[in-house]
Amino acid sequence: MEWVNRIILGDCEEILKGFPDNCIDLVFTSPPYADRRRQTYGGVKPDQYVDWFLLRSEQFLRVLKPTGTFILNIKERVVNGERHTYVVDLIPRMRAQGWLWTEEFIWHKKNSFPGKWPNRFRDSWERLLQFNKQRKFSMYQEAVMVPVGDWAKDRLVNLSETDRIRDESRVRSGFGKNVSNWVGRDKVYPTNVLHLATECSNRNHSAAFPESLPAWFIELFTQPENVVLDPFIGSGTTAVAAKRLGRNYVGIDINERYCRMTEERLRQSQARLLESPETFQVGEMP
């Protein structure tokens, strides 16, 4: 395990070839979108993006544990007034590669980038595609439960007659059990829509997403000591989140400046953790 908790400089396709099979619990990444960050990633053209990505996802598939999960944060860009189809093309290609397309989460960016165009509004959401190797995978739903909505305050004070009837009609033996499930319950399971601000208000790096985004998926799909891989680590947000949550991380980036930046952020995060361990909550907007 000397390969964990490191930030590695290089192309993840090559770097990961040195990794063993089935060693990663969660891959979480936000790859450079097509033709963005041109200086750093050679500006992969939208039409070449799918082939470029598949070479890398092949390695992700190999290093991921059978019960592991791959979360891909991606959004197609607008080209010639149209949404480009590289994301939509990628999904069937990844399925052909062996992935299961399990789910698509929506990240609603509450404070999206301002702007005005004659033919479209501000884009305030992104896709988080979930891929798996098997239909059965590790998922720890209790870790991300959210406070119940206000409706429950009144609703659960006295259980209605109908709730009992409904439970009773279906479960012959134990309606008392079902009722006890609800009484005193103050948390509910979230949905597949996440409401997070983009708050990338940290000091000297411009992260693509807030720390709460990887944190939510890390808590949902891993346990402490598990290994989280981000093959396009960028400014290091995934690694910082993993470390704060007591997971091991592996971060890869082809850009040396990003690698250094991430290492520096991790050092600072470590220092803060030592002086005052923070509790860190990921919530959801009603």
Partner DNA sequence: GTTCCGCATGAATCGATAG
Partner DNA sequence: ACTATCGATTCATGCGGAA
Is residue 149 at the binding interface for DNA, with CB under 7 A as the rule?
Answer: yes
CA-angle at 236, arms to 19 and 143, nearest 5°: 85
Tokens of 56: 């890398």
Closest by CA to 254, choosing from 56, 20, 54, is: 56
51, 104, 142, 186: which one contacts its own copies (CB under 8 A)?
104
Please enumerate in sequence order all residues whose Cβ is within 8 A of that of 226, keeping only pairs 6 or more positions apart, or say none. 25, 26, 247, 248
Is residue 281 at the binding interface for DNA, with CB under 7 A as the rule?
Answer: no
Tokens of 189: 């399971």
Is residue 169 at the binding interface for its own copies, with CB under 8 A as the rule?
Answer: no
Q: Which one of DNA, its own copies, none interacts with residue 255, CB within 5 to 8 A by kind?
A: none
Query: How many Cα atoms sit within 13 Å of 164 on the Cβ side?
Result: 6
Q: Which one of DNA, its own copies, none interacts with residue 208, CB within 5 to 8 A by kind?
A: DNA
Q: Which one of its own copies, DNA, none interacts with residue 55, CB within 5 to 8 A by kind?
A: none
CA 29 to mean position of chain CA atoms: 7
Find the distance separating the first CA and the last CA of the chain, reported in whole Å: 41
Residues in the chain: 286
Q: Which one of DNA, its own copies, none interacts with residue 171, CB within 5 to 8 A by kind?
A: DNA
Query: By rule CB under 7 A, what string of x and - marks binding of each residue 168-197 to DNA?
Result: --xxxxx---x--xx--x--xx-------x
23, 54, 106, 159: which one contacts its own copies (CB under 8 A)?
106
Q: Tell the smallest beta-carbon distance from residue 191 to its own copies (Å).
A: 4
Q: Which one of its own copies, DNA, none interacts with residue 276, CB within 5 to 8 A by kind?
A: none
| Spatial contact of 25 and 68, defined as CB atoms under 8 Å apart | yes
Instruction: Return the sign of the alpha-carbon dihedral for residues 259, 261, 264, 270.
Output: negative
| Residue 31 φ/ψ, nearest 5 degrees | -70, 160
Binding-residue total with its own copies (CB under 8 A): 39
Is the Cβ of residue 23 or residue 148 nearer to DNA in the bound state? Answer: 148
126 SS3 class: strand
Binding site for DNA (CB under 7 A): 30-33, 36-37, 73, 77-78, 81, 110-120, 122-123, 148-149, 151-152, 154-155, 157-158, 160-163, 165-167, 170-174, 178, 181-182, 185, 188-189, 197-203, 206-209, 232, 286
Binding site for its own copies (CB under 8 A): 80-83, 85, 88-89, 91-92, 95, 100-104, 106, 108, 110, 112, 116, 118-125, 135-137, 139, 141, 189-193, 286
